[in-house]
């Protein structure tokens, strides 16, 4: 497969509510000269980090084992979950000899969903380690190298570099253009599939047999989004009934803020039905302000003075 040399990306830079404003950028595969400079940047950052006492990944791994943060048990858990995903994939696509290569739609769907659960479990587990590794000398130097590459491989529509210096890129690293450029370069250099989630085997199966929509959300036979138990949910993941009203997972009505709508009547201990206070009843009526005696006398004196002046 030929290596991709460049990507042309259209970026929407308009703020929310503004008219559409798009710019085109071209992200090119780095030349050998740029790669060499990036490597020197990486080496310098790594050396500076080590000099400042920042752990390397190797040192961190030793530290985590000594402190019980990441031990052999978690290594075993990672291997176990990985193997479980492999076994589920085989069941989904190969089946078992006793099943004569037949699976009901319900069973196949449950296997695919179970693969999703296991993959999320694996990500959470690995995420613990990756979060700690993000601040090691190795990761920081890798990030510096990649930032340098993005800054020196991103061009505007006139063929000029978008970022004149690495500092320019770093100061705008949270912008839509910088984000799009970094994403495009990662796809070029590391063959990262932008449709990675869609191409996971369980999601390909669920899409092929209309168990999920284009956003990979589970749907029922009517195309309505549902949770793992088949209960309807809206685009926010909130439970709803057949009429679209918000409910809890057991079907009890909720208001828009997620509070229960009362179905019961309340009575006092003497048996009298309690009536809720309305907003108007609880509002405090404005009372006329009392004029103090001193203030009243002062007002009268001012009035007398004005009469004398007029006369």
Kindly report, residue by residue over 231-246, the tens digit of the pLDDT: 999 988 899 999 999 9
In this predicted structure, the answer to whether residue 181 has a pLDDT above a threshold of 90 is yes
Averaged pLDDT score across all residues of the chain:
87
Last residue of a domain, one of 76, 105, 135: 135
Higher-scoring residue by pLDDT: 99, 280: 99
In this predicted structure, the answer to whether residue 288 has a pLDDT above a threshold of 60 is no
pLDDT, position 97: 62
Q: CB 100: neighbour CB atoms within 10 A? A: 7
Report residue 279's pLDDT band, with 50, 70 and 90 as the boundaries.
low
Residue 141 inside a domain? The answer is: no
Sign (positive/negative) of CA torsion 168, 174, 175, 176?
positive
Residue 101 inside a domain? The answer is: yes
Show Cβ contacts of residue 114 under 8 Å, excluding neighbours closer than 6 positions: 88
CB 23 within 8 A of CB 13: yes
Structural domain range at position 89: 60-135
Cα–Cα separations (whole angstroms), residue 16 to 19, 75, 82: 8, 45, 41
Residue 189 inside a domain? The answer is: no
High-pLDDT (> 90) share of the chain, %: 71
Residue 310 inside a domain? The answer is: no
- Taking residues 275-289, what's their average pLDDT? 59
Report residue 282's pLDDT band, with 50, 70 and 90 as the boundaries.
very low
Report residue 228's pLDDT band, with 50, 70 and 90 as the boundaries.
confident
- Taking residues 185-202, what's their average pLDDT? 89
**What's the total number of domains in the chain?**
2
- Taking residues 253-257, what's their average pLDDT? 93
pTM: 0.70
Show Cβ contacts of residue 125 under 8 Å, excluding neighbours closer than 6 positions: 74, 77, 78, 81
- CA angle at 261 for the pair 256 and 263, rounded to the nearest 5°: 160
Q: CB 83: neighbour CB atoms within 10 A? A: 11
Last residue of a domain, one of 135, 168, 202: 135
Residue 248 inside a domain? The answer is: yes
Sign (positive/negative) of CA torsion 206, 112, 124, 200?
negative
In this predicted structure, the answer to whether residue 161 has a pLDDT above a threshold of 80 is yes
Round the CA-based radius of gyration of the chain to a whole number and report it.
33
**What is the token pair recorded at 254?**
């909720």
Q: If phi over 0 gives left and psi between -120 and 50 gives alpha, with beta otherwise, what is residue 210?
A: left
3 state SS of 224: coil
User: What letters, b where the CB count within 10 A reaches 16 and e where it falls short, cover 276-305?
Assistant: eeeeeeeeeeeeeeeeeeeeeeeeeeeeee
In this predicted structure, the answer to whether residue 132 has a pLDDT above a threshold of 50 is yes
Report residue 305's pLDDT band, with 50, 70 and 90 as the boundaries.
very low
Residue 191 inside a domain? The answer is: no
In this predicted structure, the answer to whether residue 289 has a pLDDT above a threshold of 80 is no
pLDDT, position 200: 95
94-116 residue pLDDT tens = 987 666 678 899 999 999 999 99
pLDDT, position 146: 97
């Amino acid at each position: 497969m030929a290596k991709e040399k460049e990507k042309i990306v259209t970026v929407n830079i308009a703020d929310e509510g503004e008219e559409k404003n798009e710019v085109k950028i071209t992200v090119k595969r780095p030349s050998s000269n740029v790669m060499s400079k990036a490597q020197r940047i990486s080496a310098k950052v790594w050396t500076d980090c080590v000099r400042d006492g920042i752990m390397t990944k190797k040192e961190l791994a030793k530290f985590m084992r000594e402190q019980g943060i990441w031990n052999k048990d978690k290594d075993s858990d990672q291997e176990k979950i990985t193997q479980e995903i492999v076994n589920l994939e085989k069941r989904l696509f190969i089946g078992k000899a006793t099943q004569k290569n037949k699976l009901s739609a319900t069973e196949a769907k449950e296997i695919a969903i179970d693969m999703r659960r296991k993959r999320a479990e694996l990500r959470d587990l690995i995420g613990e380690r990756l979060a700690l590794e993000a601040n090691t000398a190795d990761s920081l130097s890798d990030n510096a190298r990649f930032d340098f590459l993005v800054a020196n491989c991103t061009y505007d529509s006139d063929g000029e570099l978008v970022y004149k210096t690495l500092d320019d890129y770093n100061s705008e690293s949270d912008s839509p253009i910088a984000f799009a450029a970094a994403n495009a370069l990662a796809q070029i250099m590391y063959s990262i599939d932008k449709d990675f989630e869609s191409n996971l085997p369980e999601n390909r199966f669920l899409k092929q047999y209309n168990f999920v929509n284009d956003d990979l959300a589970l749907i029922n036979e009517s195309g309505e989004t549902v949770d793992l138990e088949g209960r309807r949910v809206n685009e926010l993941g909130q439970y709803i009934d057949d009429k679209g009203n918000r409910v809890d997972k057991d079907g009890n009505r909720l208001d828009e803020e997620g509070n229960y709508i009362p179905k019961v009547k309340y009575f006092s201990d003497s048996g009298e039905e309690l009536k809720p206070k309305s907003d108007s009843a609880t509002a405090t009526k404005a009372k006329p302000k009392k004029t103090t005696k001193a203030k009243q006398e002062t007002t009268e004196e001012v009035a007398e003075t004005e009469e004398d002046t007029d006369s």
